[in-house]
Amino acid sequence: MDETLGDGHLELDAEDLKIGARLRAARKGSALTLEQLAQATNLSRAFLSRVENDTALPRLPTLIAICRALALPVGSLFTAAEESLVRSGEGLPIVPVAGGEVVEWLVTPSSEPNVQLLRASYPPGGGSGEDLHELDAEVEVVHVQRGRLIISFATGDVELREGDTLTFRAKEPHGWRNPDAHATADVLWVIAPAPWGLRRRAAAAETAQTDLVSIAGA
């Protein structure tokens, strides 16, 4: 680091720790402007802007004051980002609803409760079978990377071509099939929250409600 400057902060070198993005996200999450944060911390707007842009690092007492104004634990600025990497070819095979060979793979972690991303490769004529299905989730998004896919609802069919994206309620009974006689359909599915994640949330809520009833009756 360079020498201390007169306004009580340090000039950052390029390789120094970057905390500005998290401070900016916390400020915006608190619906504060830079001017409002400056008033709350008795710091200049220009200085706070430099902190958020990672060109200046406040001394510890100043950083504590900023975090206090944002109701942000100081330690959260230095924790590693939560992430999970699924490499190509490492997706979890999904048992087909219509039986047969595996054509769908879960490419988000199986423990992730908030969202699922599935990669699918439906052979000519392949799909979910004749029955309509619904998922224990809120929303589904299907994007066709290559080929064609027909999404069937009780009210009719929607044909998707390469590059098309359809969003619909996951609880709406639906099916899907590749109508092409020769070409494979490569598709991405996004499901939110993850179906078992939704059941986990419901179970947790039910447990919490039971506990409240038990406490009230004690």
pLDDT on residue 79: 86
Neighbours of 11 (CB within 10 A): 14
The structure tokens 């360079």 sit at: 2
Q: Which runs of E-coded beta strand occur in 89-199?
A: 92-94, 104-106, 116-122, 139-146, 148-153, 156-161, 165-169, 174-177, 185-192
pLDDT on residue 126: 92
What are 74's two structure tokens? 């100081």
Taking 50 as the threshold, does the pLDDT of residue 13 lie above it?
A: no
Between strands 92-94 and 104-106, the pairing is: antiparallel
Beta pairing partners, 140: 168, 191
Burial of 90 (0-12, 13-18, 19+ CB in 10 A): exposed
pLDDT on residue 4: 33
Residues 151 and 115 sit within 8 Å (Cβ to Cβ)? no
pTM of the model: 0.68
* Closest among 118, 179, 112, 126 to 143, alpha carbons compared: 118
* Closest among 175, 89, 195 to 126, alpha carbons compared: 175
Q: Give SS3 for 57.
A: strand
pLDDT in tens, 50-85: 999 999 989 999 999 999 999 999 999 988 888 888
Burial of 80 (0-12, 13-18, 19+ CB in 10 A): exposed
- Give every CB contact of residue 166 below 8 A, 6+ residues apart in sequence: 141, 142, 151, 158, 160
Residues 8 and 16 sit within 8 Å (Cβ to Cβ)? no
pLDDT in tens, 147-164: 999 999 999 999 999 999
Q: What's the maximum distance between 2 C-alpha atoms anywhere in the chain?
A: 74
> Distance (Å, rounded) from C-alpha 128 to C-alpha 143?
16
pLDDT in tens, 80-92: 888 888 898 888 8
Residue type, 163: G
